[in-house]
Amino acid sequence: MTATANPLLQPWPAPYGLPPFAQIAPEHYQPAFLAAMAEHLGELDAIASTAAPVDFANTALALDRAGRSLQRIALLFNNMAAAETSPALQAAEQVVAPLLAGHEARVLQHAGVFARLDDLHRHRHDLGLDAEQVRLVERFHLDYCLAGARLAEPERNRAAAIAMELAGLCTNFTQNVLADESENGLWLTQSDLVGLPAGLISAARQAATQRGKPDSWLITLSRSLVVPFLTQSPRRDLREQAWRLWMERGRLRADRDNLKVANQILALRTELAALHGCATYADHALRDTMAAQPAAVTTLFDRVWRPAVGKAQAEREALQAAAAELGEPADLQAWDWRYLAEKVRAARFAIDDAEVKPYFSLERMIEAAFACAQRLFGVTFSEVAGVALYHPDARLFEVRREGDLVGLFISDNFARPTKRGGAWLNEYRYQSVAGGRVLPVVGNHNNFNKPDADQAALLSLDDVRTLFHEFGHGLHGLLSQSTYQRLACTRVLKDFVELPSQLFEHWALEPVVLMEHGRHVHTGEPMPQALLDKVLAARKFGQGLETVEYTLSAYLDMALHTRTDGGTLDIAAVERQLMADLGVPAGIFGRHRPAHFLHLFSGPDYAAGYYVYMWAELLEADAYEAFTEVGDPFDRAVADRLYRHVYSAGNRAAPGDAFRAFRGRDPDPGAMLRKRGLGG
């Protein structure tokens, strides 16, 4: 295929420079990647062979601007593989993922480039550079060092080979999970619907329609559908079936057992860590984090674990009492926990999901998120009509601040068989200024249940928090004001990246926000004060379960990545032993089981890094108290500091420095415990 026939290698004439989605086919990617990778290596060779003495412009700035053609293709490809895949695209992914991993290794082990960068790094404080320029030099230098630029050639070559093999295995792992989610679920009959709320029935009908059976009902393995079913269904036998399918995805077929794939990944990660002189993969992965070493992570977990277990035990006793009253079996199981918890919550707070959800329509909650962003940071969102994206559910918005266009936002909220589960942000284009202003394009991808065509999409409280969480990530990308792309948007340390997202969740439950935007989907009436009070009173109920589920998964991540026997490991046995050692209350399992733990095994970003959500919570709980201390969730002075030092700052400063610049001190760990109702 010639370059002129490949739309990925041509200028993109679509509005805002968006990809020409309709013109791009899976077969376009591999030749485009090969051409763009060759172009990128040529740019690096030119940097390395520059005759002029090393300086910031011909080394660090040149590196920042190199590889832009490859990057735009890779960002698009990664987004499509997650948000709108197909068998042909998955086949392309199997080929392309190792190619990209090998290319990244060649880039970060380029001896000529590193020699110049190393020279620049040694003299960075003697060249009159500003703070952001010094930061760019330091980040590039660390990127190269962590990738093995200082290793001897045989070790560098082996590290590159491992990276390529890991890319293929991680792709297999991800595709196995998606296959299980797409092929499996709990099919219901009319009689199975008894006791389910109308919204859940509608979502199950829509899910069945997407699978080609419009006269049936399907509980998919998407969290936003299976969790409400586990919460609402009075049929214990069906709850058990749904729970087992949900927990076992990733190994529902023997020929795609992800525990075997995970074992191979763990073995290669251990070998990679050893090449870098690290005892375990966790030691290697944490070198460029705020935590820095595994011991700091386990210290954080240990601070939370005992209070969380105590709270979960108390919750369990309440559930057992509810089971006795309802005539449910006394042997509380994992598939009973959410159902009984909802009964206790309804009795204790006189509240139920069916009463609350009509006030949480998707459209009004999107408006609420936009309104909070405007009040805090002065940004507005205007929907753009007539621009074709990759799927009819995806919507495009212009984002402006003080009248100026600052970015583009893609909102993609509904589950579908061609979309992986979970919720995430992806950038389609990073922001930068050097060499000409480039506006960011970011996308939020959720998996909410799509209702029948004549009904509004209604969210649970958990869905609302997810929407605000991902929108916080979106703002982090959209508000970026970095000069250099390497320091822009969400390209920060992985245990800092969740701060803007988790912090933004707080505004979802602010009374003033709920009173203004939590309006009944049919009447438009605001949420009654009595109901609002009950919602706010109930929000800390169930924190024992939630904290134990999350922390157990984070402990498992560390347990797997601090071992050195990957390849021969009985991963299921490690999980069982960990639960026994920790004293996990009966009926609770980790939020993620090993065979579908995408954070760990879909790539390196969260491997030995699932702890980052709690680390970020330690930061964001204290950060939000800056607003509560002044008595105004939209205080202008606090919001301005938050904008300058967090949301717009990218990676211009070290994260600890950025937090101190915002808060005036180091974070108070007690804020996180207070937020979760665990003391502090």
Q: Which of 538, 568, 584 is the last residue of a domain?
A: 538
Confidence of residue 563 (pLDDT cuts 50, 70, 90): very high
Q: Which two tokens stand for residue 311?
A: 């709270």
Place of tokens 């030119």: 46
pLDDT band at 92 (very low <50, low <70, confident <90, very high): very high
Q: What is the pLDDT of residue 61?
A: 98
Choice among 4-18, 77-91, 338-352 with the minimum mean pLDDT: 338-352
Q: Among 246, 230, 459, which residue's Cα sits nearest to residue 342?
A: 230
Among residues 193, 136, 204, 192, which one has the least CA distance to residue 450? 204
Give the bridge partners for 427, in sequence order: 442
Close Cβ partners of 568 (under 8 Å, ≥ 6 residues apart): 263
Instruction: Indicate the average pLDDT of the chain.
Output: 95
Q: Is residue 622 part of a domain?
A: no
Residues 481, 406 within the same domain: yes
Query: How far is Cα of residue 186 from the mean position of the Cα atoms in its chain?
Result: 26
**Residue 337 tokens, joined:** 């926990």
Which one of 538, 559, 592 terminates a domain? 538
Cα gap 648→670, rounded to integer Å: 27
Q: What is the mean pLDDT of residues 283-302?
A: 95
Do 217 and 289 reside in the same domain of the chain? no
Q: What is the DSSP letter of 540?
A: T
Residue 673 scores a pLDDT above 90: no
**Is 70 exceeded by the pLDDT of residue 379?**
yes
At residue 1 the predicted structure's pLDDT band, cuts being 50, 70 and 90, is low
Which of 131-140, 375-384, 522-531 is the least confident region? 522-531
> What span, in angstroms and rounded, lies between the C-alpha atoms of 596 and 178?
9
Q: Kindly state whether residues 56 and 137 are assigned to the same domain.
A: yes
- Phi and psi at 590, nearest 5°, equal -65, 155
Burial degree of 194 (CB within 10 A; 0-12, 13-18, 19+): exposed
pLDDT above 70: percentage of residues in the chain:
99
Q: Name the 3-class secondary structure at 226.
A: helix
Does residue 680 surpass a pLDDT of 80?
Answer: no
**Distance (Å, whole) CA 135 – CA 206:** 50
Does pLDDT of 586 surpass 90? no
Side chain identity at residue 131, one-letter code = A
Token pair for 627: 């607003």
Last residue of a domain, one of 129, 150, 171: 150
Tell me the backbone φ, ψ of residue 620, rounded to 5 degrees. -75, -30
Judge contact between 357 and 458, C-beta under 8 A: yes
Q: 511 in a domain, yes or no?
A: yes
pLDDT at 592 over 80: yes
Same domain as 391, residue 318 = no
pLDDT score at 297: 95
Position 675 scores a pLDDT of 85
Closest CA to 169 of 593, 566, 547: 566
Q: Is 60 inside a domain boundary? A: yes
Q: Do 503 and 516 have their domain in common?
A: yes
pLDDT at 288 over 80: yes
Q: Do 119 and 209 belong to one domain?
A: no
DSSP string, 275-321: HTT-SSHHHHHTTTSSS-SHHHHHHHHHHHHHHHHHHHHHHHHHHHH
Amino acid residing at 596? H
At 540 the pLDDT is: 76
What is the Rg, in whole angstroms, of the alpha carbon atoms belonging to the chain?
25
Task: Give phi and psi for 374, each to the nearest 5.
Answer: -70, -45
470 is a catalytic site residue: yes
Convert the pLDDT of each residue in 183-206 to its tens digit.
999 999 999 999 999 889 999 999
Same domain, 119 and 27: yes
Position 174 in a domain: no
Residues 29 and 121 in one domain: yes
Other CB atoms within a 10 A radius of the CB of residue 469 amount to 23
Q: Which residues contact 679 (CB under 8 A, 6 or more apart)?
A: 307, 673
Structure tokens at 273: 């860590």
pLDDT tens profile 630-644: 999 999 999 999 999
pLDDT of residue 3: 64
Same domain flag for 327 and 401: no
pLDDT tens for residues 642-651?
999 999 999 9
Round to whole Å and give the CA distance between 380 and 398.
8
CATH of the domain at 517: 1.10.1370.40
- Answer yes or no: is 158 within a domain: no
Residues 298, 397 within the same domain? no
Distance CA 667, CA 634 (A): 20
Mean of pLDDT values over 275-285 = 97
Q: Can you say how many angstroms the Cα of residue 457 is from the centroid of all Cα atoms in its chain?
A: 22
pLDDT recorded at residue 355: 87
**231 or 538, greater pLDDT:** 231
Q: How many domains does the chain have?
A: 4
Q: What are phi and psi of 268, to 5 degrees?
A: -70, -35
Q: Which residues are CB-contacts of 529 (< 8 A; sequence separation ≥ 6)?
A: 515
Return the minimum-mean-pLDDT range out of 167-171, 329-333, 372-376, 602-606. Answer: 329-333
Report if residue 588 sits inside a domain: yes
Q: How confident is the model at residue 349 (pLDDT cuts 50, 70, 90)?
A: confident
Does the pLDDT value for residue 75 go beyond 80?
yes
pLDDT for res 85: 95
Provide the percentage of residues in the chain whose pLDDT is more than 90. Answer: 90
8 Å CB contact between 601 and 559: no
Label residue 2 by pLDDT band (50, 70, 90).
low
- For position 136, which CATH number holds? 1.20.1050.40
Report CA-CA distances (Å) from 63 to 70, 104, 137, 434, 650. 13, 13, 10, 12, 18
- Integer angstrom CA distances of residue 629 from 548, 622, 633: 29, 10, 9
Out of 470, 498, 546, 575, the active site residue is 470
pLDDT of res. 346: 87
Task: Decide if 171 is inside a domain.
Answer: no
CATH number, position 576: 1.10.1370.10
Q: How is residue 583 written in tokens? A: 């004293």
338 inside domain: no
pLDDT band at residue 542 using 50, 70 and 90 as cut-offs: confident
Does residue 606 sit in the same domain as residue 496? no
Residues 648/479, Cβ–Cβ less than 8 Å:
yes
Residues 274 and 362 in one domain: no
Cα separation, 542 vs 31, in Å, equals 51
User: For residue 272, what pLDDT band results from cuts at 50, 70 and 90?
Assistant: very high
Domain membership of residue 294 as a residue range: 257-331+542-613
For the beta carbon of residue 153, count every other beta carbon within 10 angstroms.
Answer: 9
